[in-house]
């Protein structure tokens, strides 16, 4: 199983990215070639590519993914924005090739003051120009949540783009769990049906990357707000089912879950524990004492009348009421545990790791989660 995290280049390029990914226990990872909000890029000769791959391969990593910056908008009716998108995406593809990655994930784009049909035509126009330059790197169109005027909220929109380009063999798809859920597809109750629809409309052979994210909103909300695995409306069980689904075997699974913590300056990602849970290596990674802590934590919450999955959904539902407590489920449970004296001597990150494992017990018994 290839499962890893989104990481940054930092000062030592791919070497820094590999070091960070390995620290989480990743067996693959995803990078931007620079800041995702701008076009500032260092020469690839300064990105420690050979050193990064040497370290990655030494830890069993043989595939990485690149994500294009958010500023690329191939659906834009503004000519300057469109030209920037085409030209910068071509450059990003060149950088992706130098990095030795086969896929670059791209948000299809937003049509602003036009309509979806215009947006699709514009994206096809842009991709045809981008792909007029020969190469091996494929563009993975990401499934989108339906926020604003973004294109790609349905499988049909993605299929229409692929059908319109002159080089469809250069296109693949990135399946984002939060986005698909927020767009209205039922990952929780009908994962098989969702994947069958994807196969019928697009073709599972095109699905090349999976982004793993829980969602802070109920199905169909069209919001695109990621949550740590198990702390949102999708839940650990559904995300684990995605990772273990035979139709998705062999794909790289990339976590994009948010960094969390009460101290905003010291927030940390939950990648390490999320990877350990989903890959079945929790006990090996964290030790028997970790599992004992989770058992005590679960017992404490049970005495408060809490059940992991129901509590998460109840907290999210209640937070929508006027004047309600707006804190997210993880934060509320973290504060309750600390006030009760739980986790003395543990860092905020360490206690949050245990909360993630507690959420997972809604889908699998703790003994099963701690078996590996």
* 349 annotated to a ligand binding site: no
Can you tell me the distance from the alpha carbon of 272 to that of 282, in angstroms, rounded to the nearest whole number? 9
> Are 165 and 128 in contact, with CB atoms under 8 Å apart?
yes
Alpha carbons 296 and 301: distance in angstroms, whole number: 9
- Distance from C-alpha of 28 to C-alpha of 65, rounded to nearest angstrom: 8
CA 108: distance to chain centroid?
16
**C-alpha angle 19-23-28 in degrees, rounded to nearest 5:** 75
Q: How far is Cα of residue 210 from the mean position of the Cα atoms in its chain?
A: 7
Q: Is 103 annotated as a binding residue?
A: no
142 is in an annotated binding site: yes
User: Per the annotation, does 179 bind a ligand?
Assistant: yes
With CA atoms as reference, report the closest residue to 157 among 143, 169, 147: 143
Pairwise CA distance, residues 219 & 143, whole Å? 15
176 has binding-site annotation? yes
Do residues 294 and 236 touch, judged by C-beta distance below 8 A?
no
- Pseudo-torsion of CA 268, 274, 279, 285, nearest 10°? 50
192 and 177 Cβ atoms separated by less than 8 Å: no
CA angle 332, 219, 241 (to 5 degrees): 85
- 79 annotated as ligand-binding: no
For residue 328, the number of C-alpha atoms closer than 13 Å in the C-beta half-sphere is: 20
Task: Confirm or deny that 181 is annotated as ligand binding.
Answer: no
Residue 314 in marked binding region = no
Tokens 């929780």, located at residue: 188
CA distances from 365 to 195, 244, 285, 368 (A): 27, 17, 18, 5
Binding residues: 67, 107, 142, 176, 179, 211, 224, 226, 256
Could you list the residues known to form a binding site for Zn(2+), using ranges.
Answer: 67, 107, 142, 176, 179, 211, 224, 226, 256
């Amino acid at each position: 199983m290839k499962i890893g995290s989104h990481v940054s280049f930092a000062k030592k390029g791919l070497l820094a990215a590999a070091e960070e990914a390995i620290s989480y226990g990743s067996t693959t990872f995803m990078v931007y070639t620079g800041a995702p909000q701008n076009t500032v890029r260092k020469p690839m000769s300064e990105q420690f590519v050979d050193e990064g791959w040497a370290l990655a391969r030494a830890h069993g990593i043989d595939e990485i993914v690149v994500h294009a910056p958010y500023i690329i908008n191939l659906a834009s009716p503004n000519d300057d924005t469109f030209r920037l998108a085409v030209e910068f995406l071509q450059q990003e593809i060149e950088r992706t090739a130098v990095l030795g990655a086969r896929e670059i994930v791209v948000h299809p784009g937003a049509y602003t003051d036009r309509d979806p049909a215009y947006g699709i035509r514009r994206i096809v126009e842009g991709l045809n120009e981008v792909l007029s330059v020969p190469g091996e790197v494929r563009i993975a169109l990401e499934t989108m949540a339906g926020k604003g005027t973004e294109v790609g909220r349905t499988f049909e929109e993605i299929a229409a783009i692929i059908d319109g380009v002159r080089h469809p063999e250069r296109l693949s798809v990135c399946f984002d769990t939060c986005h698909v859920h927020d767009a209205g597809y039922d990952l929780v109750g009908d994962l098989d049906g969702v994947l069958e629809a994807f196969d019928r409309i697009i073709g599972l052979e095109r699905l090349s990357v999976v982004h793993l994210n829980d969602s802070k909103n109920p199905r169909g909300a069209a919001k695109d707000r990621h949550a740590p695995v198990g702390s949102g409306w999708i839940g650990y069980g559904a995300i684990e089912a995605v990772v273990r689904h035979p139709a998705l075997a062999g794909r790289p699974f990339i976590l994009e879950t948010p960094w969390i913590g009460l101290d905003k300056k010291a927030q940390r990602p939950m990648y390490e524990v999320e990877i350990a849970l989903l890959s079945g290596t929790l006990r090996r990674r964290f030790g028997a004492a970790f599992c004992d802590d989770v058992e005590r934590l679960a017992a404490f919450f049970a005495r408060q009348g809490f059940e992991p999955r129901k509590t998460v959904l109840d907290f999210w539902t209640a937070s929508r009421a006027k004047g309600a407590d707006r804190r997210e489920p993880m934060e509320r449970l973290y504060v309750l545990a600390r006030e009760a004296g739980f986790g003395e001597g543990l860092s905020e990150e360490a206690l949050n790791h245990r909360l993630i494992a507690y959420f997972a017990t809604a889908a699998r018994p703790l003994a099963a989660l701690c078996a590996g």
